[in-house]
Structures are given as structure tokens and as C-alpha cells.
């Protein structure tokens, strides 16, 4: 399942997380945005014991073009860690927050990402947030939900 668009994607994702936890599923949240992540601010994993883990694998947003191979190594390590959480068998659901931060010229390709996620186990539910869904990811997604700003009440 993919949440995309310019709106606040964290709120519907949190709903999915709490639904999964309520059903006894084990959930891992991997956020690539780090300090901007609402997950670590709004959800305290300690209250959920070993059924919820949150991992901040921060990808630097500043001067992305100027970082060269350093950025590629940072992205590669973050994606490797995320893959280990998916493959570990410890979780029923893994949330990949701000996935667009991995998709750069020095990082993970959209095709490579889609190929990997398309081969995940039947019982592994992956939920991702991303600003724009690349074609290969759209082809393997079970559902894509676009979240938009509503402007609020005046």
C-alpha cells in the first residue's frame, strides 16, 4: 500500500499502524526523514512492548547534489537496514516513510525497489509514504492513496 501526494500522509498511516497493532500484528516503522518524522514524536513504542519498533534512518536532505558518493553510501546503508527489517521475519508490517529520499541518482532505483518489494513474503505487509509514485512501484502496489491538503475551515 502506498500513500502519496502533498498532504499529511502520517495520519492515515498511523491509523493503519494502530489497526495492525490492535489485531496483534508486529509493526516496524522505518523513517528516512529523521527529525521531521511524526512517528517518533506521536507514538511511543515502549507502550506497545515488542510489537512496535521505530527506526530513524536519516537521509540528509541538504545539498543532495553536492554529496556525491557519500550520499550513495548513506542511502545504501539505510536501504540495507530497511531490507533487513523486512526480511527478518520479526514483523508482520513494515512502514517505509519518505521513501522518495532513497530514490536518487546515487541511491536506489525505482525498478530495484519495486523488484525487491514485489518478492516479499506473502505475510509481509509493506506500507510506504512517498511524494510521487514512480511507475515500477505503482505496478506492484496493492493500493495507492493520494493524500491532499484540504485547506481547513476558516
**DSSP for residue 89:** S
Domains, the chain, ordered by start: 2-146 (3.40.50.300)
Distance CA 84, CA 104 (A): 21
- Residues 6 or more apart whose CB falls under 8 angstroms from that of 58 comprise 32, 33, 34, 35
Q: Give CA–CA dist 43/39, Å, rounded.
A: 6
The pLDDT, as a whole number, for residue 85 is: 95
* Mean pLDDT across the chain: 84
49-63, 114-128, 131-145: segment of lowest average pLDDT: 49-63
State the first-to-last Cα distance of the chain, in angstroms, to the nearest integer.
33
| Positive or negative: CA dihedral 20, 26, 32, 34 | positive
Over residues 46-93, the pLDDT tens digits come to 677 889 998 888 776 554 455 555 677 888 899 999 999 999 999 999
CA atoms within 13 A on the CB side of 113: 27
Amino acid at each position: 500500500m502506498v500513500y502519496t501526494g502533498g498532504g499529511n500522509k502520517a495520519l492515515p498511516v498511523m491509523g493503519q499502524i494502530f489497526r495492525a497493532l490492535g489485531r496483534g500484528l508486529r509493526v516496524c516503522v522505518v523513517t528516512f526523514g529523521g527529525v521531521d518524522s511524526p512517528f517518533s514524536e506521536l507514538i511511543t513504542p515502549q507502550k506497545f512492548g515488542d510489537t512496535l519498533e521505530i527506526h530513524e534512518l536519516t537521509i540528509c536532505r541538504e545539498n543532495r547534489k553536492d554529496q556525491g558518493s557519500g550520499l550513495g553510501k548513506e542511502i545504501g546503508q539505510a536501504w540495507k537496514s530497511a531490507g533487513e527489517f523486512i526480511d527478518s521475519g520479526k514483523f508482520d508490517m513494515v512502514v517505509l516513510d519518505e521513501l522518495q529520499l532513497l530514490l536518487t541518482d546515487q541511491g536506489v532505483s525505482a525498478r530495484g525497489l519495486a523488484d525487491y518489494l514485489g518478492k516479499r513474503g506473502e505475510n509481509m505487509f509493506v506500507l510506504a509514504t512517498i511524494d510521487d509514485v514512480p511507475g515500477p512501484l505503482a505496478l506492484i502496489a496493492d493500493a495507492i492513496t493520494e493524500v491532499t491538503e484540504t485547506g481547513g475551515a476558516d
